[in-house]
Amino acid sequence: MRVPVVLLGGVDPDAMAATMVGLQFDLPNAVACRHAIDVERGVLTRTVSDLSGVVETHETVLEHACVSCAIREDILPTLERLARDGRWESIVAHLPVGAEAAHLCAALTWDTRMARFLRVSAVVAAVGSRHPVRDLLGDDLLAERGHHCAHDDRRGVGEVLSAMVEHADVVAFDDAVDPVARGLVAALARPDAVVVEGCHALGGEVLTGRLHQHTRTEAWTSPVRTDALPDLRAEGVWRLDLQSLQPFHPDRLLDSLERLGAGAHRSRGCFWLPSRPGRALEWDGAGGQLSIGDHASWGLRTPFTRIVLAGVGAAPAHLREAFDELLLAPDEAPTWSAGEDGFEPWLGPIREVA
| Residue 353 pLDDT class (50, 70, 90 cuts) | very low
Please give the pLDDT value at position 201. Answer: 67
Q: For the chain, what are the domain ranges?
A: 3-221, 237-353
Percent of the chain with pLDDT over 70: 97
Please give the pLDDT value at position 337. Answer: 67
**Cβ neighbours of residue 107 closer than 8 Å, sequence gap 6 or more:** 71, 76, 114
Angle at CA 277, nearest 5°, toward 271 and 281?
30
Which residues is 285 bridged to in the sheet?
267, 290
**How far is the C-alpha of 256 from the C-alpha of 236, rounded, in Å?**
28
Q: What is the dihedral of CA 33, 9, 141, 181, to 10 degrees?
A: -140
**How far is the C-alpha of 227 from the C-alpha of 234, rounded, in Å?**
20
At the second CATH level, the architecture of 3-221 is 3-Layer(aba) Sandwich (3.40)
Among the listed residues 3, 35, 8, 4, the one whose alpha carbon sits nearest the alpha carbon of residue 21: 8
Kindly report, residue by residue over 52-101, the tens digit of the pLDDT. 999 999 998 877 666 777 788 888 999 999 999 999 999 999 999 999 89
More confident position, 338 or 189: 189
| pLDDT, mean over the chain | 91
Please give the CATH superfamily to which domain 237-353 belongs: CobW-like, C-terminal domain (3.30.1220.10)
Identical fold between 3-221 and 237-353 = no
Among the listed residues 32, 5, 8, the one whose alpha carbon sits nearest the alpha carbon of residue 167: 8
Please give the pLDDT value at position 67. Answer: 75
Kindly report, residue by residue over 99-154, the tens digit of the pLDDT. 989 888 888 877 888 888 999 999 999 999 999 999 999 999 999 999 888 888 89
Answer whether residue 263 shows pLDDT above 80: yes
Q: Taking the model in full, what pTM does it have?
A: 0.94
